[in-house]
A and B are shown apart, each in its own frame.
Chain A
């Protein structure tokens, strides 16, 4: 597409001196992309996110996707394997396969949460969890709440050793966290695209939320059935927020915090209205959090309260 084929494709090197003005602009852009993916962040963030994700996995398979055990007991005619499952020649699910995967995950994921053998245990969890999800999505319905989590379990084992109290900056940590962020934000932004693709720009003026509440609404949600205008307004807000969501990848500090609080509020509302919580995506939003600052804040608070004991009167 571009005529500037002379620009070398070297992600790690500086922009070439001899490049023309356009070339150096391209080089600057490449540098910005490289910094975005690799500028080191405190490695302790990985320790936090790793613990949260791997402790979430048992909850996911025991509560959120527990139906896998039942569907695996159904006769094979009901199994409609998705492309990846066919490609990998995964066998038709049986109760034995589901039990084995569940036990592997129940043992390996909490161990991986400790950060020990992070690579081997991490990839074991990644493989078993992905298989579990392929069974979960293999009976006629595919959800998109698990996309970011499936990506997370594959990128976490590459982040290297990490400890809660070790803030040594790490480039591998940045890449892992960025992958999780992109996956979580894709879940939102591509949901807006899916609405446009499937329903055109008129999605927000329809009655989809009413449909969801009528079919599976909570008692709280059913109250909104008498307020269809409020439901339509909510659809516009959600659609707009999904369209704008990629901006979150470039926000900092309070703006970032505000955006995350908005999405947490969104998930809380859908849970209260129709019992859909998207926790597997929410858990990946933890990749945005500067966890080391919380520890510093807590430590500072503890030191101040200790200092306040011997010298109470300022």
Chain B
């Protein structure tokens, strides 16, 4: 190691040219994704987590799954890879599909059976919703409802 500063490692014109082009293309893609695009364009998708506005006098919905088990208990299905094989956000992303066709819930039970062979199995799966009603930006009260259910085969 010498203490004298070494000359800079430079790039050739071509190396600069493609880097400049790549950067311009990347910026164009992410700006386009944000201006006009949607989630489908990941990784160049809009930065839209929490971009929605919650009405201070509206509702806050939280969806989750419950299940009757062959051990005779009713449990909240853990929303992770070890429970439903999907998180709550994934459940909510697929909610309309599941409500229209509750038979899809069979998959949840099958996945649980495969992932947790040692635990009690699901006999009936329910899609539940907790709706918190807001007033002037503060919590007022909460209502719990069942949106769909499926008797596991």
Contacts and interface: CB of A to CB of B under 8 A. Distances in A.
B73 interface: no
Nearest to A161: B9
A208 interface: yes
Interface stretch (B80-88, B117-125, B144-152): B80-88
A171 B8 contact: yes
B41 to A, nearest CB: 6
A38 B18 CA distance: 13
Contact of A144 (B7, B47, B114): B47
Interface stretch (A52-60, A109-117, A192-200, A283-291): A192-200
Interface in A1-41: 11-12, 34, 37-38, 40
Interface residues of A, number: 79
Contact of B54 (A11, A143, A207): A207
17 contacts: A34-B16, A74-B107, A82-B39, A139-B86, A140-B89, A147-B45, A171-B8, A175-B19, A190-B47, A191-B48, A193-B47, A194-B34, A207-B55, A207-B58, A210-B139, A214-B60, A226-B138
B117 to A, nearest CB: 13
Contact of B9 (A139, A165, A172): A172
Nearest to B48: A194
A43 B10 CA distance: 12
Contacts of A172: 9, 11, 15, 19
A304 B129 CA distance: 64
B77 to A, nearest CB: 13
Interface in B9-45: 9-11, 13, 15-17, 19-20, 23, 26-27, 30-31, 34-35, 39-45
B39 A171 contact: no
Contacts of A303: none
A78 B23 contact: no
Contacts of B40: 82-83
Interface size of B as a range: 35 or more
Main secondary structure of the interface of A (DSSP, over half): helix
Contact of A137 (B42, B114, B136): B42
Nearest to B37: A83
Given A37-B23, A70-B80, A168-B9, A211 B48 contact: no
Contacts of B107: 74-75, 77-78
Interface in A192-226: 193-195, 197-200, 202-203, 205-208, 210-212, 214-215, 225-226
User: Closest 8 interchain pairs by CB?
Assistant: A70-B81, A140-B93, A199-B53, A206-B53, A142-B39, A191-B47, A169-B8, A194-B51
A71 B81 contact: yes
Contacts of B52: 198-199, 208
Nearest to B104: A77
Contacts of B13: 11-12
B152 to A, nearest CB: 15
A88 interface: no
A65 B94 CA distance: 19
A186 interface: yes
A215 B60 contact: yes
B11 to A, nearest CB: 5
A227 B81 CA distance: 34
